[in-house]
Structure 1
Amino acid sequence: MWTTEQYRKLVRASGWYDLLVTLAFATPWSFMALHGLLQDTALALHLPGSLPPFEPVHMLMANLMGSIVCVWAVLRIRDPQQAFGRYDAVGRILFASWQLYALMHGATALIGVTLFFELAWCVAQLLPVKGVAGNPAPAGRAPVV
């Protein structure tokens, strides 16, 4: 169980994590560098699965995802509300679902690393917050909303 202040720090930290992990997806130039790095890493580690070359529409989708995740991350860094943490957890369930789908259909095993972190952040952000939404407040204090 989190205190309200701990949960705000968690939401802010998840925003920083997302910003750092997805910033390279936001532009075609940074994504091409990341794609090459991921491809080289997968080959060097002899990982199963593939990382195909990206066509312009693939690049567009990667850049759109990177752009919106960066905006969402900055929002949570600047204003780490509990509601944003809960919505982020739901988004992570969706991302994890599509990452698992990709892994099951031959995508590079490198996706497993981000899948692990998606699930970890999701679980952390779904834990209850003390004194909020039906959780008992500490003795002598009103619940924090």
Structure 2
Amino acid sequence: MNLRPALRIVRISALYDLVVTAGFALPFTAPALFASLGNLHETLGLHGVVPDPHNVMTVMFANLMGGLVLAWSVFRLVRPSLAAGVADSGGRSLFALGMGAALIGGATPIVVVMMALEIGWAVVQAVAVVAAWRRTRIAHSVAVA
């Protein structure tokens, strides 16, 4: 894979993160998202625990994580790189690990969908970045020789 398509994937994953996490970054939008998640959970008749929209610590940690993900997303949109793609794939893997632990601990099964998206993006981005890095490295080796 060439460099340009790999960087496009880094940007698209950043845009996805921006859209999906923007609501968690602010103290007045995160509780509304948690309440919506709770409503979906109840409508589907699922077992497990959902975030409490009235718990200030839950909202604070969602705001901290949302703000960090927003900043990271903007960085990847403005300055995409193979290194950012590798770091993001690693971060997504850690997020998926945390989601898996939450599921084991009794979180709502809705988390499975979120975890699958994280794993999917981690794999797609990692494959694209590694392929571009290898191709760039081979092209550089040929040019030097």
CA separation in 2, counterparts of 1:134 and 1:13? 21
Q: CA shift at 1:119, angstroms?
A: 0.3
CA separation in 1, counterparts of 2:17 and 2:122? 12
Aligned twin of 2:138: 136
Segments of structure 2 that go 5 or more residues without pairing to the other structure are none
Match for 2:21: what amino acid?
T
Aligned twin of 1:38: 37
- Length, aligned pairs only: 140
Q: Deviating runs (4+, > 2 A) in structure 1?
A: 128-138
CA separation in 1, counterparts of 2:139 and 2:19? 35
The answer to whether the 8 A contact 2:2-2:136 is kept is: no
Q: CA RMSD in A?
A: 2.0
Distance 1:3 1:39, change over 3 A: same
Q: Where do 1:95-114 residues align within 5 Å?
A: 95-114=95-114
Aligned twin of 1:67: 67
Match for 1:98: what amino acid?
G
> What TM-score results when the alignment is normalised by the length of structure 1?
0.88
> What TM-score results when the alignment is normalised by the length of structure 2?
0.88
Q: Deviations over 1:14-47 (max 9, x none)?
A: 0001011100100111101101111101111112
CA separation in 2, counterparts of 1:134 and 1:9? 16
Bigger Cα displacement from structure 2, 129-138 vs 28-37: 129-138
CA separation in 2, counterparts of 1:60 and 1:131? 38
Higher helix residue share? 2
Aligned twin of 2:46: 47
Match for 1:118: what amino acid?
E
Q: CA shift at 1:52, angstroms?
A: 4.1
Distance 1:134 1:74, change over 3 A: closer
CA separation in 2, counterparts of 1:27 and 1:117? 23
CA separation in 1, counterparts of 2:132 and 2:14? 22
State the secondary structure of the residue aligned to 2:42: helix
Bigger Cα displacement from structure 2, 71-80 vs 126-135: 126-135
Q: CA shift at 1:142, angstroms?
A: 4.0
Aligned twin of 2:13: 14
Identity of aligned residues (%): 34
The answer to whether the 8 A contact 1:129-1:135 is kept is: no
CA separation in 1, counterparts of 2:8 and 2:74? 14
Q: CA shift at 1:136, angstroms?
A: 3.0
